[in-house]
Every structure is written in C-alpha cells, then in structure tokens.
Amino acid sequence: MYLWIKAIHVIFMVTWFAGLFYLPRLYVYHAMPENKGSFELFKVMERRLYIIMTIGATITAIFGFTMLALNWQYLLVTTHWFHAKLLLVVGLFAYHYACYRLMITFRNEANTRSHKWYRMFNEAPSLLLIVVVILAVVKPF
C-alpha cells in the first residue's frame, strides 16, 4: 500500500510543479505591454491554472503526510536530509502563495514589475525541484 501512496504523491507533485513552472511564465507574458490585447485571456488562464496547481499541491501534501505518518522515524534528529527537504517544501508552499498574490495583482491591474523580474521569479521552482529530488533520492546526509 505504501508504494501506491508514494506513486500518488509523485503524480500530484508533477501536477503541482507543472503549474509552478507555467504560471510564472504566464506572468512574464502578462507583464509585457505589447501583449495588452491578451490581458483578459491571461487572467482566465492564470486563474484556471492556479486552481489546478492548488489541487496538485493539496493532494501532494495529503499523501506526503500520509507517508510521513507511516514512516514517522524520518522526523528523528538523525535524518537531516528529510528536515532539509521539509524546509524546502515549506519554501515551495511560500512560492505557491506568492504566485497567488501576483495573480491577484494582475487581476486588479496593479502590476508594477517588469517581465524581466518575472523571468527571474520563474527560475525558483526549478532550483527547488532539483534540490528536493536529490535530497529525497540520494539522501546525502
């Protein structure tokens, strides 16, 4: 049963990350003044993607906590890789929330950031994903 729980956790983690990768890319295009004619379409796309992304994050968390309940020993002091992974996952949820705040800013037509800023913002989930996967698979410390 544990492997099924883990598989569902990974499947919805992929769903979540698809949104974390693509939503900020939509912000890049939404922040470009030459795309003004598409701003209303971007608002719809951003809202729908955020909903899907949030479902992925929620199910990822539920099955992650389920795995943790079945393997509570990961919370012991000697599993530093797991503590680091949990800290990064908290960072991913903070990034998720930041995406929400930015979506609201665009919805209210109050964006003040450039498309270049959003290009940099878009890189964070890639870096976090690399480190989280290394921690979960390699367990380096």
**For position 76, what pLDDT does the model report?**
84
**Which residues are annotated as part of the binding site?**
9, 85
Mean pLDDT of the chain: 96
Structural domain boundaries in the chain: 2-138
- Go through the chain and tell me how many residues it has: 141
**Which residues are annotated as part of the binding site for heme?**
9, 85
pTM assigned to the model: 0.94
Write the CB contacts of 106 (distance below 8 Å, at least 6 apart in sequence): 27, 30, 39, 42, 43, 46
Residues 14-54 pLDDT 10s: 999 999 999 999 999 999 999 999 999 999 999 999 999 99
Distance in angstroms (rounded) separating the CA atoms of residues 112 and 100: 16
**For position 93, what pLDDT does the model report?**
98
pLDDT, average across residues 54-63:
98
Residue 7 C-alpha from the chain's centroid: 18
